[in-house]
């Protein structure tokens, strides 16, 4: 099925079920309960889960397969966003041309950067990609202001010379992005008792594209091309001794990875038509590195898990303030309540990154293979217990 192995088909179907049913899965608590703070089934947040999942999947094709660690992938994310917004300004509010342009431009940009950076390997390659990303950020922030609008960011206006469609909507505002008339912001709300589930058109477009990106990554991982990339990671010097030139393969992986990042940037702009230089900063590049390592570099589903994990912490734990903490510990005596709030306060709200850092340290120390390795260990534990129970029942069975 899908021209992939049964195991990979099962994994693809699992990811499909999780993404399609995300509004239910991410809203486990009633909206009026104290635990509703941990619900994540909001359209904007769900969009970020799958968009950054695409970003991490693409990065994993480069880092997970070849071992080349890029600290400049945010440059392609930013280029994709700028390209999409310019398409909205000049051509149409349909998201398809904007997404296609963002992928193409990011691919060309990755080809140029990769052609230079891949002349070196190891830490020198990482520093080169970081330098290119910071140069891109500086250009977008100041030098290329006529194109990027500098620190304000590129956004739509009522004066855009849009060729297809109008520059002003019927109510006198700026038109919204759409897919052949279906607005990306349109949301259907389902009330089931105290629960509220939201089904957003933009999210499902992003989810379908993430499933396509995930399927392509499976094909790459299982292809002879993917095998060559693994050989580069294993021992590039020995590979060169056999007469094989690794550079075309690594450059192709770099360009494909950059196109994934461009797709993610285009989708960010399609959901919210705004592009800023902050998307090209080194911190954004470091974030996708964390996502991939946290989920499991070199695995198929790991980057998706890592992206969802980090974005959940960033958006959910960062919103927990002292008022929320006081409501949680209100059943305690006043002195003990204040003590608990004081103890927990550094790990939530503005200190959410501290919690994430501690968890990242724990994963790196105890689970070098990331969250995927943790899941595999739990699965082995249950299988071992089941096998032990089966053996004990067989041993106690009387002989006939």
The rounded distance, in Å, linking the Cα atoms of 379 and 306 is: 19
Residues 361 and 267 occupy one common structural domain: no
Between residues 238 and 132, which one has the greater pLDDT? 132
Mean pLDDT confidence for 31-50: 87
Q: How many domains does the chain have?
A: 2
DSSP 172: S
Same domain flag for 283 and 330:
no
- Residue 1 included in any domain: no
pLDDT over threshold 90, residue 36:
no
Within-domain flag for 315: no
Query: Is 313 part of any domain?
Result: no
86 and 203 share a domain?
yes
In a domain, 191, yes or no: yes
Residues 99-119: what's their mean pLDDT? Answer: 95
Asked if residue 359 and residue 288 are part of one domain, the reply reads no
Same domain for 362 and 251: no
Position 309 in a domain: no
Q: Is the pLDDT of residue 398 over 60?
A: no
Looking at the structure, do residues 285 and 372 belong to the same domain, yes or no?
no
pLDDT confidence band for 157 (50 / 70 / 90): confident
Cβ density class 127-162: b for 16+ within 10 Å, e for less: ebbbbbbbebbebbbeeeeeebbbeebbbbeeebeb
Asked if pLDDT for residue 48 goes beyond 80, the answer is yes
User: Which pLDDT tens digit goes with each residue over 187-225?
Assistant: 999 998 889 999 999 999 999 999 999 999 999 999 999
Q: Of 270, 301, 332, which residue is a domain's last?
A: 301
The confidence score (pLDDT) of residue 400 equals 46
The mean pLDDT value for 157-186 works out to: 85
pLDDT at residue number 358: 87
pLDDT at 116: 94
Instruction: Tell whether 142 is covered by a domain.
Output: yes
At 236 the pLDDT is: 84
Residues 89 and 225 in one domain: yes
Residues 256 and 135 occupy one common structural domain = yes
What is the pLDDT averaged over residues 346-366?
84
Threshold 0.85, pTM exceeds: yes
Mean pLDDT of 263-271: 95
With respect to residue 307, please indicate whether it lies within any of the assigned structural domains. no
Q: Do 273 and 364 lie in a common domain?
A: no
Which of 273, 301, 329 represents a domain boundary (last residue)? 301
Q: Which domain holds residue 231?
A: 6-29+39-301
For residues 50 and 114, membership in a common domain is answered with yes
Q: Is the pLDDT of residue 120 over 80?
A: yes
Residue 399 pLDDT greater than 60, yes or no: no
Which of 238, 272, 301 delimits the end of a domain?
A: 301
Same-domain check for residues 100 and 213: yes
Clarify whether residues 10 and 77 are in a common domain: yes
- What sign has the CA pseudo-torsion 291, 295, 296, 302? negative
pLDDT in tens, 9-30: 999 999 999 999 999 999 998 8
């Amino acid at each position: 099925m899908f021209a992939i192995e049964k195991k990979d088909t099962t994994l693809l179907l699992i990811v499909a079920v999780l993404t399609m049913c995300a509004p239910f899965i991410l809203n486990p608590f009633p909206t009026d309960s104290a635990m509703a703070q941990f619900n994540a089934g909001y359209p904007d947040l769900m969009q970020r889960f799958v968009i950054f999942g695409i970003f991490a999947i693409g990065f994993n094709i480069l880092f997970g397969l070849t071992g080349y660690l890029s600290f400049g992938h945010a440059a392609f994310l930013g280029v994709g966003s700028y390209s999409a917004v310019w398409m909205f300004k000049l051509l149409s509010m349909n998201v398809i041309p904007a997404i296609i342009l963002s992928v193409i431009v990011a691919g060309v940009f990755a080809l140029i950067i990769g052609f230079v950076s891949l002349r070196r390997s190891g830490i020198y390659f990482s520093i080169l990609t970081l330098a290119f990303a910071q140069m891109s950020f500086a250009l977008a922030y100041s030098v290329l202001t006529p194109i990027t609008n500098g620190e304000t960011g590129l956004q739509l206006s009522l004066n855009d010379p849009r060729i297809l469609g109008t520059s002003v909507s019927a109510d006198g505002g700026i038109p919204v992005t759409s897919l052949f008339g279906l607005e990306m912001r349109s949301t259907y709300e389902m009330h089931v008792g105290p629960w509220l589930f939201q089904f957003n058109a933009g999210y499902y477009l992003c989810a379908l594209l993430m499933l396509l990106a995930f399927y392509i990554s499976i094909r790459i991982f299982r292809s002879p091309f993917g095998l060559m990339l693994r050989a580069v990671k294993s021992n590039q010097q020995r590979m060169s001794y056999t007469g094989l030139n690794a550079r075309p393969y690594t450059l192709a992986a770099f360009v494909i990875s950059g196109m994934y990042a461009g797709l993610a940037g285009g989708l960010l702009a399609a959901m919210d038509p705004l592009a800023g230089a902050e998307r090209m900063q080194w911190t954004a590049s470091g974030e996708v590195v964390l996502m991939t390592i946290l989920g499991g570099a070199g695995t198929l589903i790991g980057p998706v898990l890592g992206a969802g994990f980090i974005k959940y912490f960033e958006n959910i734990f960062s919103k927990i303030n002292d008022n929320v903490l006081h409501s949680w510990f209100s059943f305690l005596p006043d002195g003990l309540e204040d003590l608990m709030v004081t103890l927990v306060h550094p790990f939530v709200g503005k200190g959410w990154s501290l919690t994430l850092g501690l968890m990242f340290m724990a994963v790196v120390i105890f689970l070098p293979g990331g969250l995927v390795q943790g899941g595999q260990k739990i699965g082995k534990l249950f299988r071992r217990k089941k096998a032990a129970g089966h053996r004990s029942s067989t041993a106690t069975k009387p002989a006939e």
